[in-house]
RNA sequence: UGGGGGAUCGUCUAGCGGCAGGACAGCAGACUCUGGAUCUGCUUACCGAGGUUCGAAUCCUCGUCCCCCAGCCA
């Protein structure tokens, strides 16, 4: 129905697929795959690949396989195979029955290796890892052939069989392809196909002590599954020649590999190595810490999956190096949440206001709109009492020109309630800190407008000081202080933002939030979007700030500051 | 200086020989019971030098700069 809106912008991969369909290269089929290694959590960079692969297949009436590239048991764990599937599902994609594992093909791969040996195109090598490196040559000099390169086929076959049987220790032997030690493409200098690892595998258990290298497995896995378009990141461009070589020697079907640039996001890091460090060194509280760029972290932070998908559509797909501004992701998050997140009131840093002409002990219920963007969302009652809390930063005793919130003698509107006028400022005599405001309300302004037509410049959010619920609120900010921590000099961790998490406890939220379910989203009016954290308990909900609202006042303050400074 | 890739607004991206477009960010304004949302307007780009062509971001040549590759990782 709304097809034009959902059609993603054009990109070079789409053109290739369209062209392939025109020429009938794959008979009009479009089969892609998402092939994660279960050695860590998925992050926003994976989301780009997921959206690309699943989206492309869906748009061309094909399908996308889900395949774990589980060829290295020493790094892989079931925890990850589970979290990865949960994350892809959460993102909104469905692979039906098409869940595969590279380990499903171990036997087939082994058979193909035997075939290459018989054809004289692979050999068992006894060089140590150091020696292999040494023999490989350098970027500018050719390598030297392994002394074991011309072993008779029968001997290779025998040794390879015994490698599988477990007769040799880890690292003692490898199976290598016999290609060309002088190839300018280093991937073609007799690459290792199998290494010995007496390591139990999360799926095959101890059936194998011989594991295929990714380069040996990947092309054939794609081929077995009939993948038409095998999308991967740029660093695999050099490997394509090797995948093609294997497929050619084996006489197998060739998928078409297309490389695209991986995503870089500002103010964070997206390499598994660095994310793992953050987790292991406890710079964050686990993989799903809301500051992490992982899907699990973003989910906990409150980023809706639709926002992440929209982001992936907007960033496009290209081949050049890029650094996408976090502001774009935040825009997508706000754009989505704005449409459907219910609005509530919460005060983070309370300043008590006593409304002197409002009777003590009286509670008046006012009607508040749940979502101005969605009339169907209805209204809810909120209690108004003699003592309320307003946000501390909404009052200034000596307001600058552009500040039009509350000040002595000034009148403002309390959202969905009454006009409030401030008469008196009570301070701590010792510190001079404002501790309480005294004022009066105008009963005639119930609901928020004055019968006499007088206007106020500001509307403040508030909660009843007697009826509000205490809650813990976690304010998150960007994890790093610089746009591109991993390209900065020195250890990336020195650029961690020391203020990336601030906990406010207690903050005060309106009573309707009692029992809010973990994972549910709200807009705290004038403050931002918040998501209920799983750490919440019955008597103390915990809210994570997903993202702030766009803040025009903050910008005014900033530009004033800059103006003064220069 | 072996091989592979890439250079378009501040950022991301479109363009496929015919007016360089969009989004985010920024700026200005309108509107507003959220300084939210919405709406309007504005600023800003083809890495460089030659060539082909009536016409070049696009084709050709020569440069420059950036990224990737020397794991028994993926």
pLDDT tens-digit profile of A110-149?
Answer: 999 999 999 999 999 999 999 999 999 999 999 999 999 9
Residue A308 domain flag = no
This model of the complex carries an ipTM of 0.97
Give per-residue burial for A156-170: e unless 16+ CB within 10 Å, then b.
beebbeebbeeebee
Residue A3 confidence (pLDDT): 34
* A70 is a domain residue: no
Number of domains in chain A: 2
Q: Residue A251 falls within a domain, yes or no?
A: no
Domain limit, last residue, from A216, A247, A278:
A216
- Domain boundary among the residues A423, A441, A461 is at A461
Per-residue pLDDT for A442 more than 60? yes
In a domain, A254, yes or no: no
Q: Is A278 inside a domain boundary?
A: no
Q: How far is the CA of A308 from the C1' of B43 (A)?
A: 30
Read off the CATH number of the domain in which A392 is found.
2.40.240.10
Q: Which of A125, A546, A152, A104 is nearest to A330 (CA)?
A: A546
Residue A470 and residue A416 in contact, taking contact as beta carbons nearer than 8 Å: no
Asked whether residue A565 carries a pLDDT value surpassing 70, the answer given is no
Residue A485: asked if its preceding bond is cis (omega within 30°), the reply is no
What residue is closest to B1 (Cα–C1')? Answer: A140
Point out the catalytic residue in the list A25, A144, A197, A272: A272
Distance A456 CA to B30 C1' (A): 19
For the question of residue A126 being annotated catalytic, the response is no
CB of A151 within 8 A of CB of A124?
yes
Residue A6 has pLDDT above 90, yes or no: no
Confirm whether A396 is domain-assigned: yes
pTM recorded for the entire structure? 0.96
Q: Is the CB of A148 under 7 A from strand B?
A: no
Residues (215-234, chain A) with CB within 7 Å of strand B atoms: 215, 234
| Confidence label for A5 from pLDDT (cuts 50, 70 and 90) | very low
User: Based on C-alpha coordinates, what's the Rg of chain A?
Assistant: 31
- CA A12 to C1' B51, in angstroms, rounded, equals 29
pLDDT over threshold 70, residue A286:
yes
d(CA A389, CA A436): 9
- Per the structure, the complete domain to which residue A399 belongs is given by 346-461
Contact between A276 and A40 under an 8 Å Cβ cutoff? The reply is yes
Cβ within 7 Å of strand B: which of A 434-453?
Answer: 447-449
Q: Please say if the pLDDT value at position A562 is more than 70.
A: no
Measure the CA–CA gap between A250 and A122, rounded to whole angstroms. Answer: 12
CATH of the domain at A111: 3.90.800.10
Task: Report chain A's mean pLDDT, rounded to a whole number.
Answer: 96
Which of A440, A461, A482 is the last residue in one of the domains?
Answer: A461
């Amino acid at each position: 129905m709304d097809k034009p809106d959902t059609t993603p912008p054009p990109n070079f991969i789409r053109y290739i697929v369209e062209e392939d369909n025109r020429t009938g290269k794959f008979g009009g089929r479009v089969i892609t795959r998402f092939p994660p290694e279960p050695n860590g959590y998925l992050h926003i960079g994976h989301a780009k690949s997921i959206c690309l692969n699943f989206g492309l297949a869906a748009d061309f009436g094909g399908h996308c396989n889900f395949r774990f590239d589980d060829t290295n048991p020493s790094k892989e764990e079931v925890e990850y195979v589970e979290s990865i599937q949960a994350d892809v599902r959460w993102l909104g994609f469905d692979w039906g029955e098409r869940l595969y594992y590279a380990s499903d093909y171990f036997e087939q791969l082994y058979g193909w290796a035997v075939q290459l040996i018989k054809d004289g195109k692979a050999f068992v090598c006894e060089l140590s890892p150091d020696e292999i490196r040494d023999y490989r040559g350098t970027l500018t000099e050719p390598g030297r052939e392994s002394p074991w390169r011309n072993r008779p086929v029968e001997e290779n076959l025998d040794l390879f069989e015994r490698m599988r049987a477990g007769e040799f220790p880890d690292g003692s032997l490898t199976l290598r392809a016999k290609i060309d030690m002088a190839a300018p493409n280093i991937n073609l200098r007799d690459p290792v196909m199998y290494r010995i690892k007496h390591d139990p595998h999360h799926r095959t258990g101890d059936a194998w002590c011989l594991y295929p290298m990714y380069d040996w497995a990947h092309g054939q896995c794609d081929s077995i599954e009939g993948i038409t378009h095998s999308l991967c990141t740029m660093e695999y461009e050099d490997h394509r020649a090797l995948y093609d070589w294997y497929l050619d020697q084996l006489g197998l079907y060739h998928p078409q590999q297309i490389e695209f640039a991986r995503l870089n996001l500002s103010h964070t890091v997206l390499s598994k190595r660095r994310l793992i460090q953050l987790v292991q060194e406890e710079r964050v509280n686990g993989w799903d810490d809301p500051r992490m760029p992982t899907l699990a972290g973003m989910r906990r932070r409150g980023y809706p999956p639709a926002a992440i998908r929209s982001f992936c559509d907007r960033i496009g797909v290209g081949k050049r190096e890029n650094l996408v501004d976090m502001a774009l992701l935040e825009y997508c998050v706000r754009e989505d949440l704005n449409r459907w997140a219910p609005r509530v009131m919460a005060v983070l840093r309370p300043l008590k206001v006593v409304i002197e002409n409002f009777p003590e002990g009286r509670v008046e219920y006012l009607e508040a709109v749940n979502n101005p963007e969605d009339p169907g969302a209805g209204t809810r009652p909120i209690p108004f009492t003699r003592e309320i809390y307003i946000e501390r930063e909404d009052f200034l005793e000596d307001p600058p020109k552009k500040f039009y919130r509350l000040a002595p003698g000034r009148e403002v509107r309390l959202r969905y309630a009454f006009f409030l006028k401030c008469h008196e400022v009570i301070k701590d005599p010792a510190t001079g800190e404002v501790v309480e405001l005294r004022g009066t309300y105008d009963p005639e302004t119930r609901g928020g407008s004055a019968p006499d037509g007088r206007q106020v410049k500001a509307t403040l959010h508030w909660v009843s000081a007697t009826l509000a619920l205490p809650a813990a609120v976690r304010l998150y900010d960007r994890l790093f202080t610089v746009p591109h921590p991993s390209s900065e000099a020195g250890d990336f961790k020195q650029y961690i933002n020391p203020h990336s998490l601030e906990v406010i406890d207690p903050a005060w939220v309106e009573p309707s939030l009692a029992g809010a379910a973990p994972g549910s989203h709200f807009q705290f009016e004038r403050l931002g979007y918040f998501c209920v954290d799983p750490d919440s308990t019955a008597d103390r909900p915990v809210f994570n700030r997903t993202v702030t609202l766009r803040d025009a006042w903050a910008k005014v303050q900033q530009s004033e500051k800059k103006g003064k400074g220069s």
